[in-house]
Amino acid sequence: MHRDIKPENFLIKDDNTGQDMLKLGDFGLTRQVNEQANLTEYVGTRWYRAPEISLSMTPYTAKFDIFALGCIMAELYLGRPIFPGRTSIEQIS
């Protein structure tokens, strides 16, 4: 699990040949997928964090990375973050 998927962690390489490349970076919070593991409650940036994580529901899985990708896709479509907030409470309300 990456656990910190956000736009700032996507790297785009333009090599002027039409073969642009998109990579995911910043693997500081990455953990092996293991449903038995005790993982920290802090995962990722609030705006892209699944509500289950904000509500401290565990165990969590790689499915939460998919939620973050969905938030990014919505942000690209709308032109603004879909779940902005200054605190975890604001994000889920």
Catalytic residue set: 4
Cα separation, 73 vs 87, in Å, equals 22
Cα separation, 48 vs 65, in Å, equals 9
Q: How many CB atoms lie within 10 A of CB 10?
A: 13
- Which residue is associated with the tokens 């604001």? 90
Backbone φ/ψ region at 16: left (φ over 0), alpha (ψ -120 to 50), beta: left
